[in-house]
Amino acid sequence: MEYRILGNTSLRVSALSFGASSLGGVFRDVNQADAIRAVHLSLDLGINFIDVSPFYGLTKAETVLGKALAGVRRDRYILATKVGRYGDQIGDFDFSANRVTVSVDESLARLGVDYVDIIQAHDIEFGDLRQVIDQTVPALRRLQQAGKVRFVGITGLPLSVLQYVAERVPIDTILSYCHYELNDTSLESLTPYLKDKGIGVISASPLGMGLLSTRGTPPWHPAPSNMKEICARAAAHCRDRGADLEKLAIQFAVANPDIATTLVGSANPANMERNIRWIGEPIDRALLAEVLQILRPIHNVTWPSGRPENNLHPA
């Protein structure tokens, strides 16, 4: 396993990391014993960074992860969770100073730890960005001073929103999803800025939340239909070549040294073992070129997320 330094945090994180949304049954029903084994196997095979949120499974993911981490030495893992998002509706977002402060204590209790390494404001494009800047981040900094969190970050889909906030209040990390994968490399446009600011880069969803998979997208996936069709074509091409689109996608995502870590998640231990094994194998350059050509018509195509006014913010 390769390890990289996460911005100016000094945290040395595995290039591939564990996205614990899977523990909350976000993609399918999960067997708790299997989920716990998936976490333990990942740690044993070199993954040291785990990301979760109270939103995933409506606290189920944090609860299951807490059971998995019970008895595991605290220095074996770097742990991140989130605040601000507690459901799917606009009314389920609360970035107020009081709520995020209470939220951290709730997460610590579910996770069974005294502190988290990174606390992140979750999907900030659904909130009032002025509140995130003036209330949320300062409240999280106070928790940092109290020793409950070590570093403070933000997450979201629109890259312009992440930069907008990062330009107005100091942050330590950003978590971007669906913006560094075979069909979308737009995160590259922001990495020089983040590197210059010393902000650590975490990328999630290298499979595009199912776009780049043989199984295809779940019913709730927000991508336009033509994106789904073209990605399905890429999956079929790999299958015809006796290859896995998932393997190619994960290898491609992890290869960028400017991205400290890439989150993948599965509550299936065999899947996590396979993902970790894949990144140690050489990428098929010919197949990569063929797949990128298939995906070219939808390169950097995305979808709106959050409040309409937040999708219009210039950096």
Integer Cα distance of 15 and 256 in angstroms: 9
Q: Is 56 in the active site? A: yes
Question: How many Å is the Cα radius of gyration of the chain?
Answer: 18
3, 56, 77, 177: which is the annotated catalytic residue?
A: 56
State the number of CA atoms in the 13 A half-sphere of 39 facing the CB: 30
- Angle made by CA atoms 66, 71, 72, in degrees to the nearest 5: 85
Look up tokens 């390890």; give the residue.
3
CA torsion sign for 118, 309, 221, 214 is negative
Active site positions, annotated: 56
